[in-house]
Amino acid sequence: MAEQAATPGAGDVEIEATPKGGMNGKKLVLFIILPILLLIGAVAGAYFSGLLDSLLGKAPEPVVEEELAPVESKAVFYDLPEMLVNLNSSGRKTNYLKISISLELAREADRAEIGTVLPRIVDNFQVYLRELRIEDLRGSAGLQRLREELLIRVNTAAQPIQVRDVLFKEMLVQ
């Protein structure tokens, strides 16, 4: 038994003590660097969104309102000729669209000028309407899309003339 006690290291385990309360790398990042980065990000976000302008003494920039031409109270309308087109259909059954449209013009003087570009307007409408399917005209959303598309096309065709709105007088899908 004396021999076993005399040999050092046989069965002895050395434990190395670590200092308690020291900052290792993970704790440093978690408790110091991460909150500092979050604070900097929050301050930068508040600055760029304009929330800090009142604290920094910056006056808000005045909003410049554009002067609009006085709107004429009298509406000016131009009736287009009635159009009858066959709709794009995949089956054997042919569907037709009969439509009467009135254009709301910006000025009374445009009424005479729109007559000169009327063939171009009718052609643009005919080409677009022939490609429509009956499903495209269903519901109020379909009619609103049709109105917007026709307004874009008429303003493109009658370029110097400004058309305010496209109004449907009659629309029959058969």
**Band (53; pLDDT cuts 50, 70, 90):** confident
Under CATH, which architecture does the 76-173 domain have?
Answer: 2-Layer Sandwich (3.30)
CA angle, residues 44, 45, 49, in degrees to nearest 5? 120
State pLDDT tens for residues 102-157.
Answer: 999 988 888 888 989 999 999 999 999 999 888 888 888 889 999 999 999 999 99
Q: Is the torsion defined by CA of 82, 154, 159, 122 positive or negative?
A: negative
Q: Which two tokens stand for residue 108?
A: 């009374």
SS3 of residue 163 by DSSP: strand
Q: Which two tokens stand for residue 2?
A: 């004396």
Domain boundaries along the sequence of the chain: 25-56, 76-173
